[in-house]
A and B are shown apart, each in its own frame.
Chain A
Amino acid sequence: MKRRNFIKTAGAAATIPMVLNGMNLSAAPMSALFSGIDPYSDKVLVIIRLSGGYDGLNVVLALDQYSNLSKLRANILIPEAKALKISTETGLHPAMTGFHQLFQDGKLSVVHSVGYPNQNRSHFRSTDIWQSGSSASEYVNTGWVGRYFEEDHPRYPEGYPNGGFPDPFAITLGSTVSETCQGTVGNFSLTLTDPFNFGKLTQGKETLFPGTPYGQELSFLRTSISQTNQYADVITAASKKGKTLATYPTSNLATQLKNVALLMSGGLKTRVYVANLGGFDTHANQVDSSDTTRGTQRELLFQLSEAIKAFQDDIRQLGLEERVMGMTFSEFGRQIKSNFSLGTDHGTAAPLFVFGSCVNKQILGKNPEIPATIPDQTGVPMQIDFRDVYGSLLQDWFGVSETEIKDYLFSNYTHLPIVKNCAIATDTEDFTFEETSVKVYPNPFHEVSRITFRLNASAWTRVSVFDNIGSELQVLISQQMGAGDHQVEFAGRDLPAGIYFCRIQVGREVQTMRLVKI
């Protein structure tokens, strides 16, 4: 337990006036000071995995790029007039009226072009990377949320649940545990399909186990069965006590989220829920041939948007709104050019959404810049590293210190202003970067191009160059840089002619410039 977070969290939570089932929740963290109950246990993160790799360009519509988009993906492009605008140059897919409303209510944040360097376009490997929170070159067996829980519960699952922690740390809605919650020994998430039908298992009696592999596996099985049974009790109790007030649509995701609201309102202290919506791998028939606003993707986005809207309405009516934050992710985005089957193939970065009453209403990052002509297989260049999103949520939502977050994520991260006032207080950086100061010359270039930019204060800076499929070819700068003008050379003489992207990140500001090698 980290003393500093402990105090910070307890203090912040005490300011939240909220009543649930007659119990003032703000009292809970304070009493935790004396009972040993996890003091920051009232914040909940809902992670929604959109599996298959979704076509972000058709979700968050870059209206200022339509002249080129209409050349590259005419057969699937959503008509500009149908876009649900969230700014003058950005819109949402017309099926996402729920999200549009949430944005207007200040409960939705759009984060552009999230990904990681050296994008792996394999579903399983990229999902592993997103769930483990590692870089593309590292193979890590634990999940980013699992490592977070493990810091304070290193012996889990042995001895859990217990009096201090009677509830599951995390719940995966579905029948496979999420790798996001994998710890070194156990997985911190309980799988749950139906909270009303969570059966008790025959447990049998404890026996003495010899110190053999057989004994160890038997002990693991008994622990799992006994843990399932004990969690069955708290889940059954919470689902009986809990309620939902909003009307949910009939869909798989809506049912998953309804269960989250039910269990939360029933008093379950689970911290992380992982929900899943699959089917985004739209190589073919992403849209209908007669109407691009219909088709597979439309149905999925409609389900996503309606389910989250209903969930948000529910937790507002239940008085739980300020305790819940949600985020979506998909293992990758898809290629800019559509294919001839009314679909799209595996690509690179994609936007993600963060929702809840404590998000900053905003669009983080910019519309991706779409060139008029691009090589086949070009994906959307990454603007924001996914670990920046994880790190910012851990920091602002769960009140984890920067040092620990770096341990969990195995890397530096850039703080993004995703969470607003109801969060635990964090420092905000001074504005340090003049985006207009970025110049790339010569461009197009033959051998060497120079990148110049100005900082008006010292800041952590990363300048790197990507190719069109999202591979980070060269990292030119990755360090703390002083105030003033900076220049760095990009030597691309050995590279084949084509399009490259220079990504400049200063603090939380990102600028992506297109580079053309001739």
Chain B
Amino acid sequence: MDRRATLSTLLGRSHVAKAQPIVESFQPPVLGLTPYSGAFGFEQAAHLLRRATFGAKYAEIKAAAAKGLNATLDDLFKDIKLPDPPLNYDYATDPSVPVGSTWINAPYVRDTSTGALLHQNYRNTSLRSWTYENILNEGISIREQLTLFWHNHFGVGDNQDPKFWYQHITLLRTYAWGNFKELIKKINVDPLMLRFLNGNQNTVNAPNENYGREVLELFTIGKGPLAGPGDYTNYTEQDIREVARALTGWRDQGYNTVDANTKVGSFFRISSHDTKTKKLSHRFDNREITNGFDKEHETVVDIIFSKSEVARFICRKLYRWFVYYEISADVEQNVIRPMADILIQNNYEIKPALRALLQSEHFFDALNIGPMIKNPLDFSINFIKQIGWSALNAADLANRHRAFNTLFREVGNQQMVYFDPPDVAGWKAYYQEPAFYRIWVNSTTLQARMRLTDRMATNNYTVGVRTGLNVLEFANSLPTPTDPYLLIEDMVSVLLPQSLTEQQMTDLMNAFLSGTPDYEWSTIWTNYTKNPGNNTARSSAETKLRNLVKAILSLPEYFLS
């Protein structure tokens, strides 16, 4: 064992640690950001929608393939209105919010004897189930993926006032593919962020560097290699201090308020603001920031964004979210750099640069189809969206939201909790070398993942009543459900990123038909379609389909995107 090489890996000095290849890897030249010119068939459409959404049905993939790449990207980036706000779905005791109304501007109440804040828990629950509702109803849009991308990027966690959360997440959703620079200006003074990174305690007499540090290290330009004492190549400790000073004076308001007239927001207090001139380091060309009162924080952003490293930094993060974790020197040169150029040419509008990535030869390179281990949310939502889940058809709004909340807990068991990333750097899978996406996988999360798909497939998932996947509708949505082999092939093309080997297809046939001849399935299916109301005919088809879906979802291939 090469001790020195190992140590440098242990110390994180090697740029990217390679996974152990099974057979000799071949390294063809990286396809760059040039627009994809190959065929845009079902497989390519499925790949694009698997990455850009939380899952698309067979018919949606088929329609995208027919439309073509450009038109599908138009759909993905089409402006759509913000979702209606979350409601009080089933909590009868909030005096200011009747069931069926929204709570986003409603005050809390304090218990007169204990002083405890009342009516917050149901709002948190509502916020969660509303978020899952938005994801499940996203349609062909990249907005929900980008909302989660930004949530991961800013890493706000902790249990906070859900009204603050609503404002924060709405900001992220609004700017999903909007202007990155403008988004940072909004985040600077976002009330939730002011609380999360102590911006609300950052005053002229007691400067708090928490946000100043993270805005440089994690949100905009990123930390480069240590170039000298306190010098991280892209910025220095001095810059952290001076940026923090420039951001002094902001406070949040309305936190946990019981006053109906106090709105969630932030405000600037001149007396808390440091009015002296701030001097940045040579990393920012020794620029000086003179007092700009409540506009000064925007000047800070303009200065940071004058450095092109900001563009490369965010492009790498977008790449790790949408393509793959490994960024080789080749990828840096041929994908990240040209993408960053587009971002700068468009004054930090995300859409043109991200669209170029999703439209590139590189994105559709066969090597990039399938190697991403899905995060728990992708894993859990993909198959539910693609197959359908009976609990989501519940007529009653409260029951539907109960189902969303059970899903929220399932995804939490798999170690991804929306509104609670483990720390300000986001989920480890998107930055922690050397394992990256593999961090999602361990003996406990594997079992949590497989328990979910098993119970969903076999109709043993309890939300008040036993529920499960709509396997009959799923089969019916495919072109040739009477032919067992083609049925499996089509299911696989929707659910898995690459086709299976003949041996695996045979195994699935066995799981499906348990050795009975093919024509028997045709008879069973035809019998069901002719008598959909007949319970025997129905359950005989359904049982077989459940076994099949369970077998497909338990393949490790389903873990991949």
Q: Which residues from chain A sit less than 8 Å from chain B, CB to CB?
A: 122-124, 138-142, 147, 150, 154-155, 158, 174-177, 182, 184-185, 187, 190-193, 198-199, 201-202, 204-205, 207-222, 224-225, 227-228, 231-232, 407, 410
Contacts and interface: CB of A to CB of B under 8 A. Distances in A.
B434 A185 contact: yes
Contacts of B64: none
Contact of B507 (A201, A205, A210): A205
A46 to B, nearest CB: 19
A239 to B, nearest CB: 14
Interface in B115-162: none
B174 to A, nearest CB: 28
A224 B437 CA distance: 13
A216 B446 contact: no
A347 B167 CA distance: 32
7 nearest A-B pairs in the assembled complex, by CB-CB distance: A213-B371, A124-B423, A202-B554, A221-B556, A191-B444, A214-B370, A175-B444
A228 B443 contact: yes
A190 B441 CA distance: 11
Given A190-B443, A199-B451, A214-B497, A221 B559 contact: yes
B17 interface: yes
Interface of B: 1, 6-7, 9-12, 17, 19-26, 324, 326, 366-373, 413, 415, 422-425, 432-435, 437-438, 441-448, 450-451, 497-498, 501, 503-504, 507, 551, 554-557, 559-560
B22 A224 contact: no
A141 B448 CA distance: 26
A214 B423 contact: no
Nearest to A151: B1
Nearest to A142: B10
Contact of A124 (B11, B368, B425): B425
A191 B448 CA distance: 12
14 contacts: A175-B445, A182-B435, A190-B442, A192-B444, A198-B447, A202-B551, A204-B554, A205-B504, A210-B23, A214-B370, A214-B560, A215-B23, A221-B556, A224-B441
Contacts of A124: 422-425
Contact of B21 (A141, A155, A207, A216): A216
A178 to B, nearest CB: 10
A154 B21 CA distance: 15
Given A175-B415, A193-B444, A204-B555, A141 B12 contact: yes
B424 A221 contact: no
A222 B22 CA distance: 12
Contacts of B424: 124
Contacts of B444: 174-176, 191-193
Given A198-B443, A220-B19, A221-B441, 19 more contacts: A124-B422, A124-B424, A141-B10, A175-B413, A175-B448, A176-B444, A184-B6, A184-B9, A187-B442, A199-B450, A202-B551, A211-B23, A214-B497, A216-B19, A217-B371, A217-B373, A218-B557, A228-B443, A228-B447
Nearest to A376: B206
A224 B446 contact: yes
B446 A214 contact: no
Given A154-B6, A176-B415, A202-B554, A209 B22 contact: yes
Contacts of B433: 141
B233 to A, nearest CB: 14
A123 B21 contact: no
A58 B385 CA distance: 52
Nearest to A187: B442
Nearest to B508: A204
A156 to B, nearest CB: 10
Contact of A216 (B368, B371, B555): B371
Contacts of B554: 201-202, 204
Nearest to B511: A202
A220 B20 CA distance: 9
B11 A177 contact: no
Contacts of A210: 23
Choose among A140, A154, A202, A213 the residue with the greatest number of B CB atoms under 10 Å from its CB.
Answer: A213
A111 B297 CA distance: 46
Nearest to B19: A216
Contact of A214 (B6, B369, B425, B442): B369
Contacts of B1: 154
A213 B12 contact: no
A209 B23 contact: yes
A9 B498 CA distance: 51
A202 B559 contact: no
A152 to B, nearest CB: 10
Contact of A191 (B20, B373, B442): B442
A348 B441 CA distance: 33
B380 to A, nearest CB: 15
Nearest to A227: B443
Contacts of A199: 447, 450-451
A214 B498 contact: yes
A221 B10 CA distance: 23
A288 to B, nearest CB: 13
A184 B560 CA distance: 22
A177 B442 contact: yes
Given A141-B433, A176-B442, A191-B444, A212 B371 contact: yes
A419 B216 CA distance: 45
Nearest to A216: B19
Contacts of A215: 22-23
Contacts of B366: 212
A210 to B, nearest CB: 8
Contacts of B425: 124
Contacts of A207: 501, 503-504
A155 B20 contact: yes
A138 B435 CA distance: 18
A211 B22 contact: yes
A314 B288 CA distance: 66
A410 B11 contact: yes
B27 to A, nearest CB: 10
A139 B559 CA distance: 30
Nearest to B7: A407
A222 B504 CA distance: 14
